[in-house]
């Protein structure tokens, strides 16, 4: 006979969803979710507090790893990182927003393919560096037509910069043999009696990554056409 599945431990997930929908403090939401899960499985209070304390001790250095780079980036932005990036790319005559982002797409996807997923990211690369450089190239394109970059075009350039980072990371890391999703798929297939080589699975991600690069590069070329058309209006 199959035993009934206890769904009460999933109460913590509902607490997290409700907390974020209500825009409550993230730390309080996670703590409340832990407490709700512990109570749902009838965990003794002392064991619950011990589990929370142990998790805190194991991850106490994690905030420093995450926050110190953000603090350094904020300091660089305060001293004109965005302005210098825009000015630097504006001096390159052949640079356009689309061409610049195609180069970044190749770097991002290639780095992710060898496991270097930390090279890039929205807070560390897109917002402080790549978006200003793409905007600078778009402004130079508009100035060449005797116009200024509209707010709608500026927002579109920023969106495409963020999308480029997402596409490069998502499809590039699928080629990395030690990527978590590949290991997970291998584990599930092995549980079903199907033996698959992780390297073989990673190699099958190459055609998808190449297709994603070509398609997104085509979209970036269309971005240049859009910016030129906008500047002529």
Q: Which of 9-18, 82-91, 187-196 has the lowest mean pLDDT?
A: 82-91
8 Å CB contact between 162 and 101: no
The count of other CB atoms within 10 Å of the CB of residue 101 is 30
d(CA 187, CA 66): 30
CB 165 within 8 A of CB 134: no
Q: What is the dihedral of CA 167, 170, 175, 176, to 10 degrees?
A: 130
Task: Say whether pLDDT at 151 is over 80.
Answer: yes
Res. 5 pLDDT band, cuts 50 70 90: low
Per-residue pLDDT reduced to its tens digit, 102-113: 999 999 999 988
Phi-psi region of 138 (alpha: psi -120 to 50; beta: other; left: phi over 0): alpha
Picking from 92, 199, 182, 170, the residue whose alpha carbon sits closest to that of residue 138 is: 92
Residue scoring higher pLDDT (45 or 217):
217
DSSP secondary structure letter of residue 130: I
In whole angstroms, how far apart are CA 192 and each of 55, 129, 185, 188, 189? 33, 46, 11, 7, 5
The candidate with the shortest Cα–Cα distance to 137, out of 173, 107, 161, 113, is 161
Structure tokens at 82: 């965005």
- Joined tokens for residue 12: 């913590």
Average pLDDT estimate for 82-93: 68
pLDDT tens across 56-69, in order?
A: 766 666 565 556 66
pLDDT for residue 1 = 44
Q: Give the pLDDT confidence score for residue 60 in this predicted structure.
A: 63
Q: How far apart are CA 132 and CA 3, in angstroms?
A: 57
Higher pLDDT, 58 or 98: 98
User: What gap in Å lies between CA 15 and CA 100, rounded to an integer?
Assistant: 43
Render pLDDT for 115-142 as a digit per residue (tens, 0 to 9).
888 888 888 888 888 888 899 888 888 8
pLDDT band per the 50, 70, 90 thresholds, residue 165: very high
């Amino acid at each position: 006979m199959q035993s009934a599945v206890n769904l009460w431990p999933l109460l913590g997930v509902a607490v997290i969803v409700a907390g974020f929908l209500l825009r409550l403090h993230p730390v309080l939401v996670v703590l409340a979710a832990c407490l709700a899960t512990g109570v749902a499985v009838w965990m003794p209070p002392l064991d619950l507090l011990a589990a929370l304390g142990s998790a805190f001790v194991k991850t106490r250095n994690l905030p420093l790893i995450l926050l110190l780079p953000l603090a350094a980036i904020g300091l660089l932005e305060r001293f004109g990182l965005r302005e210098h990036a825009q000015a630097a790319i504006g001096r390159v005559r052949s640079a356009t927003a689309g061409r610049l982002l195609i180069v970044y797409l190749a770097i991002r996807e290639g780095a992710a393919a060898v496991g270097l997923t930390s090279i890039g990211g929205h807070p560390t690369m897109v917002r402080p560096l790549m978006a200003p450089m793409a905007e600078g190239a778009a402004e130079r394109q508009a100035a060449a037509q005797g116009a200024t970059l509209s707010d709608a075009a500026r927002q579109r350039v920023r969106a495409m910069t963020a999308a480029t980072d997402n596409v490069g990371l998502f499809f590039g890391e699928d080629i990395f043999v030690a990527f978590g999703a590949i290991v997970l798929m291998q584990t599930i297939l092995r549980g079903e009696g199907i033996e698959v080589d992780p390297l073989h699975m990673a190699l099958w991600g190459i055609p998808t990554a190449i297709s994603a690069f070509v398609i997104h590069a085509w979209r970036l070329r269309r971005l240049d056409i859009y910016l030129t058309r906008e500047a002529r209006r």
